Amino acid sequence: MIPTDPIHELNQNELMQILKKEASNVGIMDIMKASTFISEDAKYVPGSYRKEYLNSYTEAFITKLKVLKDDKKDYTEQVDSKKLQEAVNLLNEQEIQVEAGEGFDPNFFRIYKIISIYTTFILAESVHPPGTPFPGGFNVKYENGTYLCPVKENQKDNPGAVCGFCIAEQDPDFL
148 alpha-carbon distance from chain centroid: 15
**Angle at CA of residue 132, ends 28 and 159, nearest 5°:** 80
Cα 128 to Cα 165: distance, rounded to the nearest angstrom = 12
Q: What are phi and psi of 110, to 5 degrees?
A: -60, -45
For position 45, what pLDDT does the model report? 86
Cα separations (Å) of 22 from 17, 82, 136, 149? 9, 21, 36, 28
Sign for the pseudo-dihedral over CA of 138, 144, 147, 151: negative
Position 90 confidence tier, pLDDT thresholds 50, 70, 90: very high
pTM for this entry: 0.92
pLDDT digits (tens, 9 = 90+) for 15-31: 999 999 999 999 999 99
